[in-house]
């Protein structure tokens, strides 16, 4: 099993660089899902707002899952 890439050699796992899942989660949450949910809600499209809110929840889950544990 390959070792995780570290931000700097000699440091522990808690200091590793952020993963692609976290970056994608932030992008999905702030750029796409949350604004789209607000737009659909304002336009009266409940189903679209629900789907976008679910996508925002998935993005938040990706962010939490890739954050280092203390």
Query: Tell me: the pLDDT tens digits for 48-66?
Result: 999 988 988 887 887 787 7
Scored b (16 or more CB within 10 A) or e, 12-41 reads eeeeeeeeeebeebeebbeeebbebbeebe
Give the pLDDT of residue 7. 55
| Digit-coded pLDDT (tens) for 3-52 | 566 555 544 444 445 677 777 778 878 888 888 989 999 999 999 999 98
Q: What are the domain boundaries of the chain?
A: 18-65
């Amino acid at each position: 099993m390959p070792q995780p890439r570290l931000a700097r050699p000699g440091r522990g796992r808690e200091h590793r660089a952020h993963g692609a899942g976290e970056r994608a989660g932030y992008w999905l949450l702030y750029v796409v899902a949350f604004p789209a949910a607000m737009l659909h809600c304002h336009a009266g499209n409940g189903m679209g707002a629900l789907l976008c809110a679910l996508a925002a929840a998935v993005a938040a889950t990706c962010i939490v899952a890739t954050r280092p544990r203390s």
